[in-house]
Each structure stands twice: as structure tokens, then as C-alpha cells.
Amino acid sequence: PPSFRRLIAEVLQKEERERGRSWKWRRNTRALGNQMIVLEEDAVQLELVYPQGEDPEYKWVWMIMKYWLKLVVGILSIGVTISWILQIILYILISPPVSPLLNTAFTKADAVFPLFGTLLFALWAFYLQAAVIKGNFKFGLNLLLFRVHPMRRGATFMSSFLFNIALLLLASTAAVQFCSEAFALYAENSDILNIFGAQLTSLQGLSWLYNNSIFIYILLGMTLLTLIYLCVRGPDRWKREKPEGVYEM
């Protein structure tokens, strides 16, 4: 409860004045900070469930609509994810490719109207980048024991923003290269395919990694591990420790 956290904060302040910042004090302070983050997240969830303000009924209806929208987007995302995995296996990993799959779909869409294929290509590429952004928000730079520069809604430092933007920029280059490889048939004779499909894969030292699809196997492996992790662990809010147990001196 908040009163208990306030009491712990006062105890830590008193201990700092009397004994200084010992290892035990730092550990308890870090635990208190983690619990404050949990409290802030709970406050956000409470505001969603019990909206306050001038028109709470309007907020409640809007919240219900957002959850239905998330359900629809989630179902569509499952379909796009499955299509990506099939594209990787049937077109990239197996040689010769079993089927062009999405390449054929984009080409046929262009035959209907020239812009449709480009829009579908952009949609699949944007979904890949959105998955990267979601993963960065979920895990960040996770060093197993602790996270570096975590992203929290409404409570992120500017330095953390810049650090995570740098990570996303690095990932964007990899996403572009991956799309050029996955949709090589559709992007045939394009400059991006010439850069990533010919020049980059011919670099000494990197050619072996690309020719043996090492990065693709790592991607599929991380996808499988993430799926298992999320299925076993569940959302973060399912794993809450008792606040009293965290601050044991």
C-alpha cells in the first residue's frame, strides 16, 4: 500500500543520514524504485478501468471500443506473422524456393492497380518494423540481470529516448535488408536489392553468414524463444511480488 511505501522511503532517508549509502541501502532503494514503477503502472490501469474526469461514461465507451479494436488488430497480426514465417521458410530457407508466396501476391495486386502491391509491401514491412519497436519497448536492452534505459509511458528520461532511438535506427537497417531478401522477386532490379542483395552479401567475412542464412535462423530461434517466454511467463502484471517481501531489511 502507499502508506507502507511512504514508511519505507522515510526509513531509507533516515538510514542514509545516519549510515550513508551502504550496499544494503542501495539494494533497498532500488527495490523501492521498482515498486514505484509498478505502482505507476497500476495507477494507469486503474484509470483505464475506472475513468475519471468530466465525462467518464464517454471514456468508458471509448476504452471498450479500443479493446475491440485491439482484438481485431491482434487477429490480423497473427495472420501477418504466420505469412511472414511461411515466407521465410518457403522462400528464403529452402533452396530452391518452394513458392514466391507474398511476392506473387504483391505482383498480382500491382496487376489490379499499380499502387496496391506497393501498399501491401509497405504494410508487411511496417509490421516488421512495428514488431521491432514493440520488442524494444517490451525488453529494451536486456542484460538478463537488469535492463538498460527502459521505456515507460510518461516516465522516460530523454537519455533513454535517445538510446532507444539509436537501437531502432540500427534495427531499421536490418529490417530493410531483410525485406529486400524476403521480397527479392518483387523488388527485382531495384537499387535496394542491388545494395543489400549483391554488394552486402559479397563482403568478405559477411558473405558466409548471409549465404548460410545464419541471421534468418537466429531470427526464427528468437521468435520461438519469445513465444515460449510469453506463453509461460504471461504479462508482467501476473508476476507481482508482495510489496512487504521486497523491502525486508
Q: Residue 238: how many CA atoms within 13 Å on its side-chain side?
A: 6
The whole-angstrom separation of Cα 33 and Cα 147 is: 14
Q: What is the mean pLDDT of residues 62-81?
A: 90
More confident residue, 104 or 3: 104
User: Which residues on adjacent β-strands are paired with residue 142?
Assistant: 147
Cell of 184: 527479392
Span 176-205, mean pLDDT?
80
Considering all CA atoms of the chain, what is the largest pairwise distance in Å, rounded to the nearest integer? 77
Confidence of residue 77 (pLDDT cuts 50, 70, 90): very high
The pTM of this model reads 0.69
Q: Which three cell numbers stand for residue 72?
A: 481485431
Cβ count within 10 A of residue 45: 11
Write out pLDDT tens, residues 1-16.
Answer: 555 556 666 766 776 6
Is residue 130's pLDDT more than 80? yes
Does position 198 have pLDDT exceeding 50, yes or no?
yes
